Structure 1
Amino acid sequence: MLLSIIHGLFKPKQDIGELAQLAKAGNEEVLNDLLFAHAPFMKKTASFVCKRTIDEHDEEFSVAMHGFHEAIQRYKASEKASFLTFAHLIIKRRLIDFIRNESARKERVYLIEPSNEESSNQHYIFDEQSIHTYSETQRAQSRKEELLLYKQALANFNLTFEELTKCSPKHEDSRKTAFYIAQIVAQSEELYSYLDNNKKLPIKQLESLVEVSRKTIERHRKYIIAVVILLNSDYTYLKDYVKGEII
């Protein structure tokens, strides 16, 4: 199994996403093989985030490995997004969280060793601005990656950002109503399963749950589906934009 994973020689239909599902289901051999075979991927991702070379002796590598394992546990093949793209995103988030926690813990960054000519007191400087700038850069990159994943997820329902811009409710009341309906679908295993399997809203079931007409539901169908996808996703940064809408 391990050689198959490393060399990519597994059966045509048994791609890494399917292997991740096997590991998620409890296959310890596949899980261990995936973690071993993708150690270079974890190092590369960690090095990219940390802007320096990371190897297995660094704490950041341990964080990256935990992130990869988390990606296996959270990955859903139904989303159609590349597993490695998803894993890359999760690893980046965990590393950014780690860096932020470390920065908060070390409120002051020791930068200068005292020379013989200087006072014996250690010199510290506050690097808050640098930390802030770095965090903002990482957040911007994460939002960009989430937008790409969201675009892929929308495409599974034949939706695009351009369409959503045109069909989004113009009035606040209409938007709140559509958002409320989306929450009902997202929080119901039965309704969400119907949407995911059929790629369309369970309008008949919704009619009996909400006090709006079928015509209203159909008018905002695309917007409702887009919100459902967002609510049931792991797009942390994109969700920040709709926090005020969630009931």
Structure 2
Amino acid sequence: MLLSIIQGIFKTKPNMNELATLAKAGDEEVMNDLLFASTSFLKKTASFVCKRPIDKHDEEFTVALEGIHEAVFAFNSKENASFQTFAHLIIKRRLIDYIRKENSRNKRLILLEPNNEESSEQHYMYDKQSIYTYTVDQLAKARKEELLGYNKLLSEYNLSFEELANATPKHADTRKTALQIAQIISESAELYKFLIDNKRLPLKELESLVEVSRKTLERQRKYIIAIVLLLNSDFALIKEFVKGETI
């Protein structure tokens, strides 16, 4: 029943937050429909993390599937702005843990040549430090790549990290309101398309949706645009790093 709704009766994108909440409450049909609707998202997220195409036959897809299950039961709509953003982070953590375990399982072995006083058996040593360094270096590299990608994306809107730092509202309440506005835009196909097509905020439409003056919207324009771009991006490591502040 719900699956038919997802496939197009209402011809709108399913509200993943609502589906996650219902699934968490124990509705198995909703859980199945949510997983079906998330198939493309799971493949995309797994491919992004693993840096290669992932399909339903790969072990990484199974890990991603377990991750979205975990996300459903950990999700709190009052604390997390978007289920899909939240799930992305959970899946990414699971996949990184999986990759680390695989690195350990396929650990680098250093063959110790026996000397005259040793037996002729081959001796292997697990180079833990090398694997640890590899993992940390890979994560640092991925984070750097995300920052470069985000900076490039911002430049398309004539924004920079320096401008974003200066444009960030100083007061928590003001910042929270700006974040909520960014969330509204990021989750609205129409508003988001306007931003992407015109490289500016849909001020007229926003005025009718939020209790914020046009003057305030214009003053917070840079910050709101930057957050919208982040929310609708695949820069999961950046999102995780600033989670307590933005997401």
TM-score (norm 1): 0.54
Distance 1:236 1:184 in 2: 19
Does the C-alpha gap of structure 1 residues 210 and 119 become closer, same or farther in structure 2, counting only changes over 3 Å? farther
**Residues 182 and 225, structure 1, Cα contact 8 Å, conserved in 2:** yes
Distance 1:104 1:210 in 2: 51
Q: Structure 1 vs Structure 2: percent identity of aligned residues?
A: 52
Q: Secondary structure at the match of 1:111?
A: strand
Which one is further off, 166-175 or 132-141? 132-141
**Residues 167 and 220, structure 1, Cα contact 8 Å, conserved in 2:** yes
Does the C-alpha gap of structure 1 residues 67 and 126 become closer, same or farther in structure 2, counting only changes over 3 Å? closer
Q: Secondary structure at the match of 2:118?
A: coil
What's the CA shift string for 1:31-81, capped at 9, x where partnerless?
xxxxxxxxxxxxxxxxxxxxxxxxxxxxxxxx99x94657xxxxxxxxxxx
Q: Given residue 102 of structure 1, which amino acid in structure 2 is its aligned partner?
A: E
Residue 137 of structure 1 corresponds to 137
Residue 124 of structure 1 corresponds to 125
Q: Secondary structure at the match of 1:124?
A: strand
The size of the alignment, in residue pairs, is 158
Q: Secondary structure at the match of 2:146?
A: helix
Which one is further off, 220-229 or 171-180? 171-180
Compute the displacement of 1:144 (Å): 2.1
Compute the displacement of 1:227 (Å): 0.7
Match runs of 1:75-90 below 5 Å: none
Compute the displacement of 1:130 (Å): 2.3
Q: Secondary structure at the match of 1:112?
A: strand
5+ residue gaps, structure 2: 1-46, 55-95
Distance 2:123 2:53 in 1: 41
Residue 229 of structure 1 corresponds to 229
Distance 1:69 1:110 in 2: 29
Q: Secondary structure at the match of 2:242?
A: helix
TM-score (norm 2): 0.54
Distance 1:217 1:132 in 2: 46
Distance 1:245 1:230 in 2: 13
Is the counterpart of residue 181 in structure 1 residue 181 in structure 2? yes
Cα RMSD, aligned residues only = 3.2
Does the C-alpha gap of structure 1 residues 153 and 109 become closer, same or farther in structure 2, counting only changes over 3 Å? closer
What's the CA shift string for 1:100-127, capped at 9, x where partnerless?
3521434x64323573723848443351
5+ residue gaps, structure 1: 1-62, 71-95
Residue 172 of structure 1 corresponds to 172
Compute the displacement of 1:180 (Å): 1.4
What's the CA shift string for 1:155-183, capped at 9, x where partnerless?
21111222112111111222121111111
Is the counterpart of residue 110 in structure 1 residue 115 in structure 2? no
Q: Given residue 184 of structure 1, which amino acid in structure 2 is its aligned partner?
A: I
Residue 151 of structure 2 corresponds to 151
What's the CA shift string for 1:129-172, capped at 9, x where partnerless?
32222222222222222222212211211112221121111112
**Residues 186 and 231, structure 2, Cα contact 8 Å, conserved in 1:** yes
Compute the displacement of 1:241 (Å): 2.0
Distance 1:195 1:241 in 2: 25
**Residues 179 and 245, structure 1, Cα contact 8 Å, conserved in 2:** no
Q: Secondary structure at the match of 2:233?
A: coil
Q: Secondary structure at the match of 1:215?
A: helix
Match runs of 1:208-247 below 5 Å: 208-245=208-245
Q: Secondary structure at the match of 2:141?
A: helix
Q: Given residue 117 of structure 1, which amino acid in structure 2 is its aligned partner?
A: E
Q: Secondary structure at the match of 1:201?
A: coil
Compute the displacement of 1:98 (Å): 8.3
Residue 162 of structure 1 corresponds to 162
